A and B are shown apart, each in its own frame.
Chain A
Amino acid sequence: MILVPDVVSPIVVGLYAPAIIVGIFVGLIGLFGISLEKNDLHVLILTDIVGVGMLIFVAAVGTDLAESLILPGLVVELAEILAISEILMSREMRKSGKTVELLPTPLHFNLEILQTAPVFLAIVLIAYGAFLSGFTGGAIAGAGILFYVMSIKVRGVPSGVWEGLAGVSGMAWCLWLVGFLVLFVFPQYWLLGLMLAAFGVFIKVAFKVGIIGVMNREEFKKE
């Protein structure tokens, strides 16, 4: 019983079963590695291979729906690996009695290009990111802001600015959530929801560097 429409070529349809078999093999290889390995950290990394097997399973379906289902799967994997590595770190700290910072070493930006490159490039990047909007645009505009921060850090940036940026990032994320709610609850206003989501995620991703800035400042203080 095949539900695939005729326009899809039979080669693509025939790839489904091999993909599932590959997924099963990837999972089995990961489990085999876990059964042999004794080091806790290595076990954690090997567990990620099993997660990759899961992504192959979902990706093998190959429809739009499957594409939108990969993202939650990936996010769940990341959340779990973060939680477990945090537990592992906390256990090791408790065992050894030492505490470890989030970033172990202070950051050094001794790049020559940060002093010679024109800051104007940051404005170009931000403008281009705003034109793109959405996640990609956010990443580009964020790179622009980060570039500005790193090149101007010699003169110093007021700390209130960074905390403000982090706050705006959180509020923009709420905008994104509201956009999604609009899409679900009032599907007839989809354009409004789309715009809210697109620009919410743009501002959020762009200002994520604000948080990097806050961290940066604390690291500098440590230095």
Chain B
Amino acid sequence: MDITILGSQIIGIIPLGDIVFYFTQFNLFMFATALAFTAIIAISKTETQVEAEFGKLGDRAVTVAKKEFKIRRFLAIICGLATAGAMITGDLFDFTLFVCLTGIVNIGIVGAVRQVDVLDSAYQYGLIAMMASLPLFGGAALILAATGTISLLVINSLTYTTPMMILGSILLFLGVAGETGVAPFFATKAEMFRTPGSPFLLIIHLSSLLILVRLIEILLIINKPF
């Protein structure tokens, strides 16, 4: 492969018809991180949480029932897989769909708590995610209209940048920020990470961080500021 993306060589591609996944050193690392975290979520036994006691040297174990977190754990695994997919996809619309899947799954994770306050914050997050789908898909559609393609490998080889592409990139950024970027805020607002037995909910933070980094890579590929 002699195509370079942002200074790193393409190690390999997975051609599935017109949807092409590609690996570079950069996104392969993020892909492996997301998959490794997902694997840890899938195999770990998080039902028992050990907390240090205050003022003494003893430990206190808090155990919750397994089925209490079954659905949320499943959603966390889906979230990890969607994040991993978004890392390596070479198709702009595929990326937006993975981001949307992450967003919907995050709504599910936050909304699984049966408390009025938490459901309130899940509802507000859901509204923001729905509004963000306008700039997300709209930005991708603008880039499709301006370049004639949604394949990142083809966009990478274009030599020009039009104002429409920049507008599309800004919209795409707004969309991803609304869809997964605000998710940690709403999850923290609901104080979900302090719940015993659910450390795997940190996947919300990880997916949001990885997707934002990947989005910046995609925006650099589209706009080529260097």
Contacts and interface: CB of A to CB of B under 8 A. Distances in A.
Interface in A65-81: 65-66, 69, 72-73, 76-77, 79-81
Interface string B103-127: 1100110010011100110110011
Contacts, number: 113
Interface of B, helix, strand, loop or mixed by DSSP: helix
A83 B108 contact: yes
Contact of A72 (B97, B104, B126, B131): B97
A60 interface: yes
Contacts of B148: 3
A91 B104 contact: no
B114 A90 contact: yes
A74 B38 CA distance: 29
Interface stretch (A45-53, A102-110, A137-145, A148-156): A45-53
Contacts of A114: none
B160 to A, nearest CB: 7
Q: How big is chain B's contact interface, by range? A: 35 or more
Contacts of A95: 116
Interface of A, helix, strand, loop or mixed by DSSP: helix
B138 interface: yes
Contacts of B147: 3
Given A27-B134, A31-B131, A84-B126, 4 more contacts: A34-B127, A65-B144, A80-B100, A84-B107
5 contacts: A27-B134, A69-B93, A86-B111, A94-B115, A184-B16
